[in-house]
Structure 1
Amino acid sequence: MIVRILGAAAGGGFPQWNCHCRGCEASRSGRATALTQSSIAIRANGGDWFLINASPDVRQQIELMRAHNCFAEQNGRSLPFAGIILTDAEIDHTTGLMLLRESSHPLKIYSSDRVKFALTTGYPLFSTLQNYCGVDWSPLDAAISLASDLEVEAFALSTKPPKYMQNEDRSPDEVWGVGLTIRDLSTGKTLTYAPGLAAIDETMQRRLNASDCIAIDGTFWTDDELPALGVGARSALQMGHLPLSGERGSLRQLEGLTGPRKILVHINNTNPILIPNSPERQAVESQEVEIGCDGLMFDL
């Protein structure tokens, strides 16, 4: 299996156009590397690529893959992905679908029922796309086969509904976000991908430890990161993201994982780990946890 991180930043990218935090200013001055918004691509055994989440930066991400000769020669207006998997209905993970509307074939999209509902009613991307290229939707059940050697298992995460759906009547046990464990059946290697993660319980610990690589939520350094900077009112946990630092933070909970390669993705522009040589970045790297970056590609 080949994994490529297309975008490692959270919503808004890095730098974010309206933000003047020290991280964004470091990026603008060339002291920190710019990042596009969260997405990855996978393929197995020389087969087709699959896109996981469609960020608003998808055009730029596709062109960078093309520049690095990731795609076989194509003709016409074909889509370079055999399918698109959505882990949630957040704007930064779905708006890119509109940029793919020029596809000559319906977009093959896998998602949960809740995501389909949100993208048909609250943020009607599916309804709109039906008038362009069309949508060929399939449910993202517990485990699905994407290709002969590639299997994806979806598992529920304790995440929040997207902000545009939070006024809807809903059951407290509704699942608005999933993580993915992706298995290459020919090699037995696994990747667990969870760009949104509000908690790591014992079941999640076992799943992560059984993976060969994990690419997980690195959105915020502290729970009060946005309120402390005066750029938001909600805490990390209120937004459905487990902060990295603190006694109950994700870094502490990842300490016991000795098997998998550990990579942080979906990193917010305010997170100081994006600044080279910052104490926070050094703390992450000292635990042998990698900070994801655009274009990072590896085999499993």
Structure 2
Amino acid sequence: MLVRILGASAGGGLPQWNCACSKCQAARSGVIPSLTQSSIAVKAGGKWFLVNASPDVRQQLERLRNGCEDNIRSNPIAGVILTDAEIDHTNGLMILRESKQPLELYGTATVKQALSEGFPVLRTLTNYCGVNWTVLETDASLTLINEQSSQLKVEVFPLSKKPPKYMAQSNDDIWAIGLTFRDVATGGVFTYAPVLSELTDSLRERFEASDCILVDGTFWYNDELQRLGISKRTAQAMGHMPLGGSDGSLQQLKTLKRPRKILIHINNTNPIHQPDSEERMSVEAAGLEVGYDGLTIEL
């Protein structure tokens, strides 16, 4: 199984178009790498399965074209798995409307509802390339089979009940999910959790049973945006557990013994982008890595 980080940044990317924070300015000047918006790709032979379709999907898919057939309408992906209905994870579907075949989409019933009513991308896609939708059930699994009969087993687990801003608040609906991939041939196990509001015992067990995890590293401080005068919303109000502090996710993630631990979905304001920052050194001292565009993991 191969896992490739296509975009390691949170929504807006690094640099973000309307931001002049120190991290965005450093990226503009080439001091630190620029990053595209959150997405990964997974495969076990054959074509890739794209996980989330970011607004940067066109340039991200260009990085997957090695070994792709050279006919006039070649396609490097077998399907798109959506972990939520956030615009940052679904807006790229509009670019995929040019697909020659109906798009193979995987997502929960709540995501399908959101993309049919609140942000009606599915209506547009139906009138262009067409859509084949496979409903993902939380606490269930399915097997992905590509054209070479390579198999990936995917386990779906709940992460958040927070709906996207364009949808009304629901009661107990699950709006964001995580994914655990198992390579049937090699036995490799990989878990993807781009949103982490709390680290429960069940999540800890899942992470410990994985060979590698890609996990939410959005903010360092709970009041990170408030400190910069960008927003009054806290990290926790946005559904993200901050990394820093005695009760932050870093202190808990560093105790995990088995998996390789990589932070993704990193906001442009997060100080861990800067290699010489105290926060970055704390991450590395805890045995975690800071993800970047193009990082490929083989399991």
Aligning the two structures, in what range does the TM-score lie when normalised by the shorter sequence? over 0.9
Question: What is the deviation of 1:25?
Answer: 0.8
Corresponding residue number in structure 1 for 2:17: 17
Question: What is the deviation of 1:79?
Answer: 2.5
Question: What are the Cα deviations for residues 114-140 of structure 1, in whole angstroms up to 9, with x where unaligned?
Answer: 000000000000111111111110111
Question: What are the Cα deviations for residues 63-102 of structure 1, in whole angstroms up to 9, with x where unaligned?
Answer: 1233xx2x33231223321110000000110000001111
Question: What is the deviation of 1:197?
Answer: 1.1
Point out where structure 1 has 5 or more consecutive residues left out of the alignment.
none
The amino acid that maps onto 2:34 is: A
Corresponding residue number in structure 2 for 1:177: 176
1:129–1:135 contact (8 Å) kept in structure 2: yes
2:83 aligned residue (67, 80, 87): 87
TM-score normalised over the length of structure 2: 0.96
SS at match of 2:202: helix
1:14–1:34 contact (8 Å) kept in structure 2: yes
Question: What is the deviation of 1:169?
Answer: 5.4
2:142 aligned residue (135, 141, 144): 144
Corresponding residue number in structure 1 for 2:219: 220
User: CA separation of 1:269/1:103 partners in 2, compared to 1, >3 Å: closer, same or farther?
Assistant: same
Point out where structure 2 has 5 or more consecutive residues left out of the alignment.
none
Counterparts of 1:222-237 in structure 2, within 5 Å, are 222-237=221-236
The amino acid that maps onto 1:150 is: L
The amino acid that maps onto 1:131 is: N
Please give the alpha-carbon distance, in whole angstroms, between the structure 1 residues aligned to 2:15 and 2:272: 13
1:159–1:196 contact (8 Å) kept in structure 2: no
The amino acid that maps onto 2:144 is: L
Counterparts of 1:56-95 in structure 2, within 5 Å, are 56-66=55-65, 69=66, 71-95=67-91
1:115 aligns with 2:114: no
1:159–1:241 contact (8 Å) kept in structure 2: no
Corresponding residue number in structure 2 for 1:207: 206
The amino acid that maps onto 1:223 is: N
The amino acid that maps onto 1:269 is: N
TM-score normalised over the length of structure 1: 0.95
Q: In percent, how many aligned pairs have the same letter? A: 59
User: CA separation of 1:150/1:218 partners in 2, compared to 1, >3 Å: closer, same or farther?
Assistant: same
Counterparts of 1:141-290 in structure 2, within 5 Å, are 141=137, 142-147=140-145, 148-165=150-167, 168=168, 170-171=170-171, 173-290=172-289
SS at match of 2:263: strand
Please give the alpha-carbon distance, in whole angstroms, between the structure 1 residues aligned to 2:47 and 2:244: 38
2:254–2:287 contact (8 Å) kept in structure 1: no
Corresponding residue number in structure 2 for 1:32: 32
1:97 aligns with 2:93: yes
2:183–2:189 contact (8 Å) kept in structure 1: yes
Large movers: runs of 4+ above 4 Å: none
The count of aligned residue pairs is: 293
Please give the alpha-carbon distance, in whole angstroms, between the structure 2 residues aligned to 1:235 and 1:169: 18
1:78–1:105 contact (8 Å) kept in structure 2: no
Please give the alpha-carbon distance, in whole angstroms, between the structure 2 residues aligned to 1:79 and 1:90: 24
2:68–2:74 contact (8 Å) kept in structure 1: no
Corresponding residue number in structure 2 for 1:293: 292
Question: What is the deviation of 1:159?
Answer: 4.4
1:77–1:102 contact (8 Å) kept in structure 2: no
Please give the alpha-carbon distance, in whole angstroms, between the structure 1 residues aligned to 2:269 and 2:47: 35
